Each structure stands twice: as C-alpha cells, then as structure tokens.
Amino acid sequence: MNEAAEVELRTAIEAIERASATEVVVAVRPRLRRWLIPHVLVGAAALLAVLAFALFSDDYEVALWTIAVAP
C-alpha cells in the first residue's frame, strides 16, 4: 500500500469508529492469489462426473468414440 492509500484507509476507519460504538481492526494477511491445487481438484471432480454420466447414463446414449474424440 502506498501512503495515500494508508491515509484514506485510516480516515475511513476513523469515520466508522466516530459514527458507531465499534472499534475497527484491519488484518492484512498474505495469501497466494492463484493456488493450483483446488482448481485441479475441482476440474478432476467435474471430469469424473461427466465421464461417469457419459458411460453409465440410461437416458442419454453416448458412443464410446465420442468420449475419446470430443471430451
């Protein structure tokens, strides 16, 4: 954060504290923005769900070659 952002944040916090009977605490925690593992797990779960539907659905028939060619 640059100095202007800190001043603006401090001003906003002080305005909230003056208007109410609360004390505002801002916690800044580092985090990794793009963590790969959850995205891979969700993609794998979706892949398995679609594959299971395509293979075992009685209502919707899918030719096996279409699963390999156009997943």
CA separation for the pair 15, 8 (Å, rounded): 11
**Amino acid 67: pLDDT:** 79
Whether pLDDT at 26 is above 70: yes
Over residues 40-53, the pLDDT tens digits come to 999 999 999 988 88
Listed by start position, the domains of the chain span 3-69
DSSP character string of 18-70: HHSS-----------S--HHHHHHHHHHHHHHHHHHHHH-SSS---HHHHHH-
On whether the CB atoms of residues 24 and 11 are closer than 8 A, the answer is no
**Amino acid 71: pLDDT:** 61
| Mean pLDDT of all residues belonging to the chain | 86
pTM (2 decimals)? 0.46
Whether pLDDT at 11 is above 80: yes
